[in-house]
A and B are shown apart, each in its own frame.
Chain A
């Protein structure tokens, strides 16, 4: 079956450093991947997505890398700020049908001031 998982459940980073959050997926048919940020008491917030025909995509202070060979993606956050503290989820989806995305269990990012 399909599944999305994360290597590290909790990540502590010093303010100003770069953060890297990793994610493994298992469904070879997935053709897009999304990173969400979820703050306490809120719904997931879209950060960035990447299609399977790309291996890198950059946004504002964030970069997503996709390695289809080993079914791995990562989210890099540059110059991590206290406001980045949250739980981060990767999610995978298949655009051939309805928009169902499968979420992983999440990584909690703690930014140390």
Chain B
């Protein structure tokens, strides 16, 4: 076990709805990165949060947003859900932004119908 926990594990939403996914980082870690993994693909970087601020962003539209809290846990929010948003959403925690050894949670499987 990595110590990174995500909730919920599975979620079904309707197109157009909004969703919030949560991630608790490993103890001692202050950086959380979020990834989207479509079926049969590698994870795609969404954004990273470091000390409660967005520290980098991948090629995702603004309807993907996030937060990081003082305890370094994090949320991923997706507005106006589209069918193509169906994927496994992964968070990874690490210490600092340069640490290559990030620990992933088990992911949240989001299905948009």
Contacts and interface: CB of A to CB of B under 8 A. Distances in A.
B104 A98 contact: no
Given A45-B104, A93-B100, A104 B42 contact: yes
A46 B102 contact: yes
Interface in B30-46: 31, 33, 35, 40-45
Interface in A1-24: 4
Interface string B1-14: 01010000000000
Contact of A43 (B48, B100, B105): B105
B20 interface: no
Contact of B48 (A91, A98, A106): A98
A100 B45 contact: yes
Given A43-B2, A44-B90, A44-B104, A95 B45 contact: no
Contacts of B97: 97-99
A91 B4 CA distance: 20
B107 interface: yes
Interface residues of B, number: 30
A41 B9 CA distance: 10
Contacts of A105: 40-42
Given A100-B48, A104-B42, A105-B42, A49 B107 contact: no
B105 A98 contact: no
Interface in B72-106: 90, 92, 94, 97-106
Contacts of A99: 31, 33, 48, 56, 94, 97-100, 102
A80 interface: no
A98 B96 CA distance: 9
Contacts of B50: 98
B106 A41 contact: yes
B58 interface: yes
A34 interface: yes
Interface string B50-63: 10000110100000
Given A43-B106, A43-B107, A89 B101 contact: no
Interface of A: 4, 32, 34, 36, 41-46, 49, 89, 91, 93, 95, 97-106
